């Protein structure tokens, strides 16, 4: 399982912020993310993220 936000970045490339959990999930699927990336995104808080940095922080918290 990827543990760094940089490993997930390419699959959510192009999402507009603020972005909801659902926006991130949709964009990752649209970018053909593997199941393990989708699983990680599904573990993120169900909220709006104001920036890429907020997403990075949430990913780091989920993978610790």
Tokens representing residue 23 in the block: 């926006």
* Distance (Å, whole) CA 10 – CA 28: 8
Indicate the pTM of the whole model.
0.86
User: Could you say which DSSP state residue 35 is in?
Assistant: H
Handedness of CA 20, 23, 24, 26 (dihedral sign): positive
Q: Residue 7 has what pLDDT?
A: 79
Structural domain that includes position 14: 5-62
Tens-digit pLDDT profile for the chain (64 aa)? Answer: 545 677 788 899 999 999 999 999 999 999 999 999 999 999 999 999 999 999 999 998 888 7
Query: Phi and psi dihedrals of 49, rounded to 5?
Result: -110, 130
3 state DSSP class of 2: coil
Who contacts 51 (Cβ-Cβ below 8 Å, separation ≥6)? 17
Tell me how many domains the chain contains. Answer: 1
Q: Residue 3 has what pLDDT?
A: 52
């Amino acid at each position: 399982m990827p543990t760094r936000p940089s490993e997930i970045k390419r699959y959510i490339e192009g999402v507009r912020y603020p972005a909801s959990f659902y926006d991130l999930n949709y964009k990752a699927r649209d970018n053909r993310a593997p199941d393990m990336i989708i699983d990680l995104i599904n573990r993120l808080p169900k909220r709006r993220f104001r920036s890429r940095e907020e997403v990075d922080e949430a990913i780091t918290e989920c993978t610790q």
